[in-house]
Amino acid sequence: MMQVHPEKRLAAVCGLFCPACHVFIATQEDPRRLAALAKRLKRSVNELECNGCRSDKRCFFCKTLCTMAACASGKGVDFCGSCPEYPCAALKEFHSLAPHRIELWKSQERIRTAGYETWFTEMVEHYSCKNCGTLNSAYDLKCRKCGNDPSCEYVRLHKDAVAAHLAKQK
């Protein structure tokens, strides 16, 4: 399994696990994948590049469309689950829009009860291929390195929702 050390910059305030984001993976490992995403989304590669939720370099989705990071910062909380208003209307809407967000409530609970470091370590396993250990995104139905199907436990659990979402994107 890939060794990724718990870094808070890679743990989004909303409960998403940045290392399993297809944009993050493309930024860190695969310039061709990033260029293809940019072309499909009609954005520049620079607009897509991302080093994590709490980094200085965030993709345009997270930089301009996300209200949770600024909100959490303004309220002095590290994660939405620590906010007295959790779950707020903005987070509920965000949760409902895409299948890579299905487990936000579960993630927030785990962060709150076990700490982000434990949750982070568990997420590495959750998104890693059981065959080769590659960290995959929620949208990698098959492992992006070895082709194992499903790519990871997250996809095994939510494959139908992910596949339906991907079919709408074509």
- Give the predicted TM-score (pTM) of the model: 0.92
Half-sphere exposure in the Cβ direction for 165 (13 Å, CA): 17
* pLDDT above 90 (res 5): no
Are 141 and 161 in contact by the 8 Å Cβ rule? The answer is no
**pLDDT tens for residues 99-149?**
999 999 999 999 999 999 999 999 999 999 999 999 999 999 999 999 999
* pLDDT above 70 (res 3): no
Work out whether the CA dihedral 112, 116, 122, 128 comes out positive or negative.
positive
* pLDDT above 80 (res 4): no
The residue type of 169 is Q
Give the other-Cβ count within 10 Å of 166's Cβ: 12
What pLDDT, on a 0 to 100 scale, did the predictor assign at position 1? 52
What pLDDT, on a 0 to 100 scale, did the predictor assign at position 63? 87
What integer best gives the mean pLDDT of the chain?
Answer: 93
